[in-house]
Amino acid sequence: MFGSSFSGFGLKNILITGVLLLCPSSSVSAKSSNQWIDIWGSMPQLVESENLPPAPYNGGDTVFKNATLRQTVYITQDASTIRLSFSNAFGGSELPITAVTVALPASRAGAGSGAIKPGTIKTVTFSGGHPDFLVPNGAVVVSDPIKFQVKAQSVLTITLYLASGQAGQSITGHPGSRTTSWLAQGNLVSAANLSSTAGVASTDHWYFLSSIEAYQPERASALYLVGDSITDGRGSTTNANNRWPDQLLARLQKAGRSLSSISVINQAAGGNRVLADGLGPNALGRIERDVLARPGSGVRYALIFEGVNDIGTAPLDQVAQQSVGDRLISAYEQMITRLHSHGIAAFGATITPMSGPGQAYGEPEREKTRLRVNEWIRRSGRFDAVVDFDMAVRDRGNKTMLDKRWDSGDHLHLNPEGYRVMAEAVDLEIFERFADGVDRYL
């Protein structure tokens, strides 16, 4: 009958001037209560020259020519239907994707593994069944839906082949992956073990892959973390997935059905700032791309934990520090307003200690700014909830420094045990309190 639609991933009806057409479709029924929602993500950024792939995968005028790239990611929700996004946001030229597969890793741990379970391989297609896609510079491409079972806190392997490579040296990626990726010559997207291939190379970076979405029930929701290197996991263990967001995910998964359906999406990058571009776009600008523009009605929570790099790179004099503190507070206000306009609960986190021998961020004027900004975060009432990371991890005898037990050694980043303490500082009740989002007019 006219106006009805077929559900699932089969056929859809299109009515054009009285003629009913049946067309193959990878979309879902408009009446479906399910939604596409992120179950993994990383913040796309321009890859700095020192983080480009090693030779021969970087030929100077072309990157990843005739190269296979195998990457692993840590999934944050159970799902049975997924799709992948590849970003060319910072590419200086078109990104020619030739072939992609997904599979489960051979080992149970899986993170950073070059080996897969051959029986689990599935081919990834684009735009209704095409195996390849030429992504314009500045664009993102989303794959067709893939029937593929994944579990929260498990690893998924994505293998990508570029026949001609990407021209130039400007490519999109995420250098702070804390996860090993494997590179090999030729088309080996279905190879059982890339790490044993002749001429193989490895690098602890992600390239091109920007998100994994799942087709989830309406109750599913997502928490987006806007942060810097502390959230990105500097000081954590490579291939161990023990950043503080990973350890928060573990708590949510154990907390019961209402909280275990929350994805944790890490949109952080080392060196990132709120007020200025540098290592990635500034947070005030990228909140549109990294939170507000994400798919699904389940984009329900955002936690802002940034500012240390703004304070730490601003000049030491009192006038400059007064200015950066004032501007940070104004930027937080703007981010809260934008989040609320989309019905998203805005959580704020206090800036953790940054003082210690040899740590330039901890100069007295900068410490005054950190304390003043933290007091605003705690007392202003503008955030819907506050996570007091500062109080959780600071030294009890010297509040300007990290607790020695949790200091990675640079007096700024934490070790895995410190990241556990941070994860435990998040009161899980805030997710239940704001399960329905917030008033868009706040």
3-state class of 165 per DSSP?
A: coil
For the sheet with 385-387, list strands across it: 262-268, 221-227, 299-305, 345-349, 385-387
State the pLDDT at residue 31.
53
What six digits make up the tokens of 39?
């179950």
| DSSP calls for 291-325 | IITSSSTTEEEEEEE--HHHHHHS-SSHHHHHHHH
Asked, as a colleague might, if the bond just before 56 is cis with ω within 30 of 0, I would say yes
Residue 60 pLDDT: 83
CB 243 within 8 A of CB 232: yes
Q: At what angle do helices 244-254 and 416-424 cross, to 10 degrees?
A: 50
What string of DSSP letters covers 84-126? EEEE-TT-SS-EEE-EEEEE-BSSSS-TT-SBB-GGG-EE--B
Cα(407)–Cα(86) distance, rounded to whole angstroms? 35
Q: pLDDT tens, position by position, for the chain (442 residues)? A: 333 333 344 434 433 334 433 444 444 444 568 999 999 999 999 999 999 999 999 988 999 999 999 999 999 999 999 999 999 999 999 999 999 999 999 987 789 999 999 999 999 999 999 999 999 999 999 999 999 999 999 999 999 999 999 999 999 999 999 999 999 999 999 999 998 888 899 999 999 999 999 999 999 999 999 999 999 999 999 999 999 999 999 999 999 888 999 999 999 999 999 999 988 999 999 999 999 999 988 999 999 999 999 999 999 999 999 999 999 999 999 999 999 999 999 999 999 999 999 999 999 999 999 999 999 999 999 999 999 999 999 999 999 999 999 999 999 999 999 999 999 999 999 999 999 888 876 6
Q: Which residues contact 130 (CB under 8 A, 6 or more apart)?
A: none
SS3 168: coil
Phi, psi torsion values for 151, nearest 5 degrees = -120, 145
Across-strand partners of 111?
Answer: none
Distance of alpha carbon 226 from alpha carbon 232, whole angstroms: 10
pLDDT recorded at residue 242: 98
CB-CB contact of 382 with 347 (8 Å): no
DSSP 437: -
Tell which residue, 84, 186, 164, 131, has the closest CA to residue 194: 186
Identify the three-state secondary structure at position 299: strand
As a whole number of angstroms, the longest Cα–Cα distance in the chain is: 78
| CB-facing half-sphere around the CA of 318: CA atoms within 13 A | 0
pLDDT for position 197? 86
Helix (H, G, I), strand (E, B) or coil at 73: strand
Instruction: Report pLDDT for 17.
Output: 38
**Prediction pTM value:** 0.92
